[in-house]
Amino acid sequence: MGAQILRDLGLRQFRILTNNPKKVNRLEVYGISVVEQLPIEILSNEHNVKYLRTKRDKMGHKLREV
């Protein structure tokens, strides 16, 4: 739905702020060109390290050292 809204607004290419490579692929399927993917810098700590590892290992998110 988000890609449809972007297309309706006339956006055909942009930079995206995400660690999720699937978002880039899905947008391109809808004819939106992602010219740059900027990672969200997240520092791991004792409270979020398990969560970040899961996102990296099971969902393919591009994260720095976790």
Eight-state DSSP code of residue 40: P
Chunked mean pLDDT (size 10), the chain, 66 residues: 89 93 90 92 94 95 84
pLDDT at position 33: 94
pLDDT at position 44: 93
Report the run of H or E that residue 17 belongs to, with start and end.
strand 13-17
pTM: 0.74
pLDDT at position 35: 95
- Structure-token pair, residue 27: 């947008």
Which long-range contacts link 6-10 to residues 24+ away (Cβ below 8 Å)? 6/30, 6/32, 7/31, 7/32
Helix (H, G, I), strand (E, B) or coil at 32: coil
